[in-house]
Every structure is written in C-alpha cells, then in structure tokens.
Amino acid sequence: MPTAQQISRINDVVYEIHRDTSAELSGRFLASIAAYSEQHFHRTFHAVVGESVHHYVRRTRLEQAANQLMFDLKRPIIEVAEQCGFSSLSSFSKAFKAHFEMTPGRWRTYDRSKMSASYSTDPEIEAAYKRLQTAILPIPNLVELPDRPVAYVRHLGYSRSIRQSWQTLKVWAAAEGRPFDMQLGLHHSNPAWVSLEKCRYVACLAIDTPVLRRGLVNSMRIPGGLHAAFDLTGGYGELLPYISKILDHWLPASGFRAKTTPAFVHYRKNQFLEQDEHFDLTFYLPINV
C-alpha cells in the first residue's frame, strides 16, 4: 500500500506529465521530480498509478493526439504528433495504430458511430447519451482566466466513486480551516474512446494559501488562458454527454483549436455531493485560435 508521501511525490510527476506532454519526459527526469532514484521511482510509480510510467506517458500523449486529430482536421498530422511529444511521424503512426487499431489518417475520417462507445458499459450513462442526443447546447462565453492554485485529489474512473475523492477533500478542508465553496473538477479524458474505468478525474478546491502538509491532498495550478465557458445543469450521468457534444460538434464548427491543457468544471452544485445528484456548473474548455 503506497504511503501518503509516495502518493504526494508521484502526484507531482503526474502533474508534470500533464503540464506539457510535448516535453522530454524521460524516466530520469521524472524520477528527479519525485526525488527518487530512477529504479525506485519506476517501482513506486507503478504501485501508485497502476501502470508503468512509460505506458502512462504514451497513453496520455495518444489520447491527446486522438482529440487533436478529431477536432482540428486541417492541422498536419506531423504537427499533432510533435505537439503531443512524438519525435517522428513514423513512431507516432506506429504507436497510434497499436493503441487505436487504425492509422491517424483513418482515425480522422472514420465514422465513430460504428465504434463501441466506452460509456456503453454503464447503462445509466449510456441512457443519458441517448436522452441528450438532440439536446441544444447553450451559447458559450469566451473568457480569459488566470492560473488558479488548487488543492486536489486524483481519481481513476468515472462513476459515483468520485464522491470518495470529494469527501476526502471536504474533510481536509475542514481540518485545515479552509472554505469549501470553490469546487472544480478536471476532466483529462474523452469518454467517447477512453473507457470509463480509465477516465482520469481530479477533484479540486481553489486555495489562496499554499498546502503545507501534503499527502493524499496535494496542490497545483490549473493553467489559465482563453476558455469557452458553457453553463450546464442536469443530473448524474448527463455531464459526459454534454462534454461529448461540445467536443464532437461545437469545437469543430467553432474555428478554435482545443489546447492540450485539461478542461474543467466549476461547480455551483456538485452532483457527487448533492443528495439529489444534480449539477449546476460551468464547463471550461481551453482553446486557442
């Protein structure tokens, strides 16, 4: 069982990976972030995350590339590959085909309605997708956001189990005497092709002073910049369909490009904490021209 200190150090590494996937993310460099020897780092990363650091970095890069290929049809594939940390088109194409079972070019033109959607493993979420097929998205506001320091708890999988991370954060805030009113949720994964049990979610609480004692709860900064802001309401299971509609329909027609920094929500009503499991929130999608 990983210790709180090990979780904290590996969380620093995961943050570094997601901060810039185009960077040189060698085992030696990431081990230095965790302040471990390289050999000990690899063992500890696998114990905390559940997969090797090499596999985690490659999967993260490929998932980001899949998003870019789908939503930015005019960008050359080699640019997408380089932005997501691949040194050559051939190495990218080989890794992409091994992961998604088709070439990057084929991925761009493939009819994804023929694919078995990952969310079909959850009947409740699948029903929400079908129910909201014809839902009309609200018109977003375009806003410039500052970097935002947060305390956070990472969670693997998208289900009601996310409630545990929010409860951990709530207990920590009470013990620290911090307000629990600015709740943010980071969405790293696109549920259209990332299985729900592998979707990466981060429960976050905005803070104005540093986290001094790190363990299960750590701190980072959510990157600012230009975002499209969508005000959304609904019940448990309905947020993912809305996010998919934004990525699949609004983004390609908008003239904007999605950045590789994570999208996030600002909860006014958090479905993982409310008894009626309803949400009222703003979904922020990082974009550029």
Helices (H) and strands (E) in the chain — how many of each? 11, 9
> What is the spatial distance between Cα 49 and Cα 10, in angstroms, rounded to a whole number?
8
Per-residue pLDDT of the chain (289 residues; tens, 9 = 90+): 888 889 889 989 998 988 888 888 999 999 999 999 999 999 999 999 989 999 999 998 998 888 788 777 778 899 889 888 898 999 999 999 998 889 998 888 776 555 556 666 788 888 998 899 899 999 999 999 999 999 999 998 899 999 999 999 999 999 999 999 999 999 888 777 788 888 889 999 999 988 888 778 999 999 999 999 999 999 999 999 999 889 888 998 898 988 878 899 999 999 999 999 999 999 999 998 8
CB contact set of 129 (below 8 Å; sequence gap of 6+): 117, 119, 240, 241, 244
């997408």: which residue's tokens? Answer: 80
Nearest residue to 150 (alpha-carbon basis) of 236, 93, 219, 197: 219
> What is the spatial distance between Cα 267 and Cα 281, in angstroms, rounded to a whole number?
4
Radius of gyration (C-alpha) of the chain in whole angstroms: 19
Nearest residue to 14 (alpha-carbon basis) of 120, 164, 146, 156: 156
SS3 category, 22: coil
Q: Where are the domains of the chain?
A: 4-112, 141-288
The CATH homologous superfamily of the domain defined by 141-288:
Regulatory factor, effector binding domain (3.20.80.10)
- Kindly report the number of other CB atoms within 10 A of residue 122's CB atom: 18
> What is the spatial distance between Cα 276 and Cα 108, in angstroms, rounded to a whole number?
39
- Kindly report the number of other CB atoms within 10 A of residue 123's CB atom: 10
> What is the spatial distance between Cα 79 and Cα 67, in angstroms, rounded to a whole number?
13
Class of domain 4-112: mainly alpha
And the tokens for 269? 């009503």
Nearest residue to 286 (alpha-carbon basis) of 232, 223, 221, 238: 223
Assess whether the region 4-112 and the region 141-288 belong to the same CATH fold.
no
Residue 111: what pLDDT?
62
Give the CA dihedral 146, 9, 172, 210, nearest 10 degrees: -40
> What is the spatial distance between Cα 271 and Cα 276, in angstroms, rounded to a whole number?
7
And the tokens for 253? 């027609």
Q: What is the pTM of this model?
A: 0.83
